[in-house]
Amino acid sequence: MRTGAHASRKPSAGGGDPSGSVVSLFEAAALRDPAARAVEGPGGTALTYGQLRSRMHMIASGLVRRGLAPGEVVAVRGRSSTDLVAAALGVLWTGGVLLLVDENLPEPRRALLLDRAQPAIRLTTGLPEPGTGELTVTALEPSTPEAAAPVTSGRAPERTEAAYVFFTSGSTGTPKGILGSHRGLAHFIAWEIDALGAGPGDRVGQLTSLSFDVVLRDLFLPLCSGATLVLPEEPGRLNGRTVLPWLRNAGITVLHTVPSLVRSWLRTPTDPGTSPALRATCFAGEPLTGELASRWQERTGGGDIWNLYGPTETTLAKFAYRVRGDEEPGVLPVGSPLPECEVRLLDAAGSPVADGVPGEVVLRTPHRSLGYLDGRGEPTGGFRQDPEGEPDDWLYHTGDLAARLPDGRYIVRGRMDDQVKIQGVRIEPSEVAAAVRTAARPLGGGDAFALAVEAAGGSEASGAPGAPGAPGVKTLVAVVEGGLGAEAVEHVVDELRRSLPLPMVPALLHSVEELPLTSNGKVDRASLRQQALSLLAERGRTRAAGARAHHKDPDPLLSTVRWAMATALGVGTVQPGDNFFTLGGDSLAAAELSAILEEKEGIAPLGHTTLLSAPTPQALADALRDGDMRRDRQSGGTPELPRVPVVGQPYPLSPQQRRFAAFYLADASRSWANVSLRLALPAAADTELVRAVLRLLVARHPSLRTRFTHDGGEIRQTVAAPADVRADLVERHAEPASAARELIAVPVPFTGGLPYVTHLVRHPSGDELILVLNHMVTDGTSQEILRTDFAHITCHLRDGAPLPAVPPAPAYAEYARHRSAAERTESGRLWDFWRDELAGARPTCLPREGIAAPRPGQDTELTRGAFTALRLDAGPERLAALAARHQCTSFGVLMGLFTRALTARLERDDAVLLVPTTGREPATATVVGNFHNILPVRVRRADDLAGTLCGAQAALARSLDHQWMQLDHLVERLGMHPADDPYPLSSVLFNAIPGASPLLPPEAAEAAGPLPYDVRYDLMGVVRTESQSLVLELHYRSALMAPDSAGQLLQAFAAQLTPHE
C-alpha cells in the first residue's frame, strides 16, 4: 500500500521559504520585527529578535575565525539559556553541525557522545567554567562595535547539508548518531507553523531535554514564526507542582510534550487557579490515548491537541493528527502523513498489506535525515535504497507496525522488535542490558537481558507514574544472572543512574541464577516477560495495600501526616513506621512537609527538633497531637500584618537588619554590604522606558523606597511615597561585566539617601541596568523577586503584556516592627536556651599569634583571603549513605564531618560554627527585604563518627528552633561585643550551596590560590553540591593560615567522604 505520493510541491512556511533553513526563516522573522521579544530565559534574561540576530552573527563570526568549516560538528554543552539559543543559531548559520549536550546527562554519557561525535569546536553556556578544550559562548563574541558586524563573507547553509546530530539508543550497546539536514528541519518547522497558525503573540515553552531531537521543535517553531521562546526557570524540574504553575505564569500558549510526563503532571493535586491556558499541545514519542488527551484539554483551557509520530531518522515527525474528541476509546490515530512523505505498509515478505492489517511503516521523503554519523552518505541501519528510485533515494524501515483505518488515517500498533520508548526517549533494550552487565560484573553478575512490558487493562487515572496499567505505557525491566542479593542489585541500579539517562534506567531490576532458555538455546522472552509482570503486579499490590491502609487509617491526623510525608519525599506511600531521613529526607523536604501540614491542617511550622525526635509518621502524629500544634493555638509565626507601610512613619529595624548593621556596617569603608543585580534590557531601550520600568519597580516594592536615619542613637527606617522617589540613572558606555565588577567594589552608603545606585550601561553586546544595593534592603531571595518583576514590568510597558499582581504579603517595614516587638517578648526564653547551649564555649577562630583583629576603618592584611578546593566524584553517594545510616540530613552530616576535621586541627573538643539561614517564613516568601540570618551552632566532637554526626544534627535542630535571638544581642549577653572583635563568638562559617563551584573548573580535581576580595571570617567551609560530585572549599585569611595547612585541613575533611575512611 502506498499513500501520500511523492510530490514536488512545497508546503507553505507562513511567509518563509521551506527550501532554505531554519536560520534563514529566523533571519526573516528578525528583520520583520527586530524589537519583538524572541527568547526569555531563566532569571529574567531576555533577547529581542534584533539582539538575538546580532548575537547569532557574532558567534558565527567567532566560529569562522577559529577555522570552523561547513559540515564540522560543534558541541554546545550547558543548560537552557539565552546564550545556548544564540549559540545554536550561530553554529547553524556557519554551516556547522550542531550537537546539543545537556549538562543534566550523567558525565559518562556526555563523554561517550562527545567521543563519538568528535566535534571540531566545543562550547559551553551557563556554566561557571569551560572544561578542557571548551570555549565559552561569550568568548566568541567580539567586544567592539566594528567587530560585531554581521557575517557577510560566509554563505547560508545548503538545504541538503547536515544541520545537527542527535544520538539515540543503539542495538549494539552504544548510542548511534543521526545526522539531520537543513532541508528536513526547515520543512517540518514550516509545516508546523502553518498547521498551528503560530506567530507573534504566541509563547512556546521549552521543556524537552536538550539532548533529544524533539527540542528542535521547541526552539525553532517560535523563532521562525515571530513568536516568543520561553525557557524554564529551573530546567529539569518536570513535576505537576512546578510545571503547571509555570505554564500559567509564563503565559505559555503552545507546548510540545510526551504522554507519560503529562500523565504524571495530572496525578499531582494542584490549585485549579494554577491551570494554564494553552492554545495547542503537541504530543509525540509514545502512544496517546483519548482519555489522556481529554483530561489534559480540560485542565489547560480546551486548546487543540495534536498527536505527532515519526522517527528521528525521518526528521522530527512525519504524521500528524488533530484530535477531534469523538474518537473510539483507547490509543489515538497518528493521522495522515505530512506533505511530501510517502507511506508504505509492508508485510514480512515486503508486500503491501490490506487496510486494517498491521504492516511495517516504511517512509520515503526527501526530508529525511542524512543517515548515521558513522557512515555519512551511506544507507545503513533501517535505510534501504528504493529499487524504483534514484541512487540517493532511500526508504526508511521504521520497525513500527501500523494499520490504515477505513477513513485513511493511520494508527500505530506496536513494534516488530524490542525497541521501546520511555518518556519519549527511544531505547534499545540491548544497550540497557550491556550497561547492566558492566555494572554487575564486579559484584559477580553474569549475562543480562532487558525488555519492556505492558500490562493489559487499566486506565489513565490509575496506578503510579510509570507503572503498567495505562494503555500504551511500557515499563523497562532488566534481569541479571548471578543470584545477586538485594544490596548488590541496588548497587547496580545506582551505577546505572550514574551512567545512563534516567529513562534508560530499568524501573525493575532483579537477579536470577541463570537466564531461562528455550529449547533451541535462546533467551526465553515469554518467561522473562511473565516474571516481570508478576513482580510488577506484586509491587503494585504492596503499594496499593499501603495506600489503602493509608486512606483507611482510623487516625485522621496520622493519615494526613503519611500523605504529607509521601508528597514531600516524592514517593508513593509512607508507612507509619518509615523513617523520614532513611527515605532520603533533607532540609528541603522537611520544609515542604512543614508547608503541607500548615496548609492542609493549620499546623504551625514544625520545629526542627520535632522532626528529628519524631522522624516517622506515627511518632510525628503523636508529637503534633501531644504538643497541640494547631496554628490557631500558637503565638509564633507571622500574623496578618499590613501589606502597605505608612509613608513617612519611622519604623524600627528588623532584628536581621540590626544585626547586619552591627557586624558589617561599622566599617563604612568596605564594600561587604554590596549586592549587585544585573538586568538585561531590550534592544534599543530608550532611557525613558528604563526610567519608567524603574519607577514602577520601586512603587511595587517598598524596600526600594526606604531611607535610613540615625534617631537618638538608634537607626530608623522610613518608607517614601512612590512619587517622592526619583528614578536616578547614571548612563555610561562600558562592557557590562567590567562595569559590574567596578561598581560592586564601591561602598553603597545606607544612610543619607536611598541605599542603592542604578547605572544604565550601554554596549553593543546588549544594554543592562545594574543595581548595586546595600544588603540592608535585600537578600538572595529578594534579588530573584526583583529580577522576575523587572522582566514582567518591561514586557508590560513595552509590549502591553499583562502585569502580574504583587503577591499579597506583609510590608517589610511592618514585618520589622512585628519582629522587633516579638524579639523583646521572646528574649527571656531564648536567652535561657542560649545561655545553657553556649555555657563554657570558647571563641572559635584561627590562632592569631599576636595579630590583632581588624578594627573598623583599618586597612589590614588580616582581611586578605585565599582558598583551596577539592572535587569528590564519589562524594554524593557517600554522603547519602551516611545520612541514611545515621538518620541525619545531608547538611547535618557535612557539618559534623567538618567539625571533626576542624576540632582536630585546633586541638579542641568542640566548635561554634556560624551557619547562614534564609530567616523567612511562608508569609514573607515574596517580600523584598533583608531576612538573612546567621546562626551559631555548637558542635561537640564525640569519640565515634556516629556520635559526632547525630550530635551535630541535634545541635543544628536546637539552634534553628531558637534562631530568633540575633547574634548581636547574643554576644552582648555573653559579655562580648562586635566593637572589640567583629566575630567574638566565632569567626568560622559553614555552608552548603547547590550548584557548580566558581573556583574549581569542571575538569579540575583541585585548585588553590588567592581570592580577589577581602574575607569576613577567619575560615569558611563551603560544600558545593554538583550533579555528579561534591566540591569542598575552604576560604581563609591568608595571614592566619598557610596554604599547606589549609590543604591538610581540607584533605582531612574530604577523607571522611571517600568510600574508605
* Highest mean pLDDT out of 160-164, 230-234, 789-793, 1032-1036: 1032-1036
**Sign of the C-alpha dihedral, residues 142, 148, 150, 155?**
negative
* Helix/strand/coil percent split, the chain, to 5: 35, 20, 40
pLDDT of residue 1022: 94
Give me the mean pLDDT over the 250-266 stretch: 84
Q: How confident is the model at residue 240 (pLDDT cuts 50, 70, 90)?
A: low
Q: How far apart are CA 677 and CA 786, in angstroms?
A: 9
Among 883, 935, 946, 940, which Cα is nearest to 910's? Answer: 940
Q: What's the distance, CA 272 to chain centroid?
A: 24
User: Would you say 436 and 450 are in contact if contact means Cβ atoms under 8 Å apart?
Assistant: yes
Average confidence (pLDDT) over 1007-1013: 84
Lowest mean pLDDT among 465-469, 616-620, 912-916, 1016-1020: 465-469
Q: What pLDDT is stored for residue 2 in this prediction?
A: 44
Residues 6+ apart with CB under 8 A from 700: 789, 793, 806
- Give the model's pLDDT for residue 238: 54
Please report the pLDDT score of residue 856 as a whole number: 45
Task: Kindly state the average pLDDT of the residues 560-571.
Answer: 80
Residues 6+ apart with CB under 8 A from 50: 30, 34, 35, 683, 684
Phi, psi of 385 (to 5 degrees): -70, 135
Report which DSSP code applies to 327. Answer: P
pLDDT value of position 159: 55
User: Quick one: angle between helices 812-837 and 945-960, nearest 10?
Assistant: 140
Q: Residue range 1045-1060: average pLDDT?
A: 88
**Is residue 117 within 8 Å of 129, Cβ to Cβ?**
no
Whole-number pLDDT of residue 208:
83
Q: Is the distance from CB of 741 to CB of 677 less than 8 angstroms?
A: no
pLDDT of 526-550, one tens digit each? 788 788 887 777 765 554 455 455 4
Helix (H, G, I), strand (E, B) or coil at 739: helix
Q: Distances from the Cα of 545 to the Cαs of 540, 551, 552, 574, 832, in angstroms?
A: 8, 10, 10, 11, 48
Beta bridge partners of 289: 331
Task: Name the pLDDT band for 720 (thresholds 50, 70, 90).
Answer: very high
Distance from C-alpha of 27 to C-alpha of 21, rounded to nearest angstrom:
10
Distance CA 37, CA 626 (A): 56
Looking at the chain, the whole-number percentage of residues with pLDDT higher than 70 is 80
What cell does 350 get? 515486503
Kind and range of the H or E run holding 938: strand 933-940
Q: Which three cell numbers stand for residue 692?
A: 519608567
Please state, as a whole number, how many other Cβ atoms lie within 10 Å of the Cβ of residue 1040.
18
**Residue 468 gets which letter from DSSP?**
B
φ and ψ at residue 129, rounded to 5 degrees: -140, 145
User: d(Cα 589, Cα 940) in Å, to the nearest integer?
Assistant: 26
N-term to C-term CA, the chain: 68
Highest mean pLDDT, choosing among 1-5, 35-39, 452-456:
35-39
Interhelix angle for 556-569 vs 525-551, to 10°? 140
- Kindly give the residue spans of alpha helices, DSSP state H, lying in 682-811: 687-700, 736-744, 780-799
- Cα separations in angstroms, 185 against 77, 80, 155, 214, 527: 21, 20, 18, 11, 43
Domains, the chain, ordered by start: 6-410 (3.40.50.12780), 428-548 (3.30.300.30), 553-633 (1.10.1200.10), 665-806 (3.30.559.10), 830-1055 (3.30.559.30)
Per DSSP, 631 falls in state G
Helix, coil or strand: residue 438: helix
Mean of all residue pLDDT scores within the chain: 80
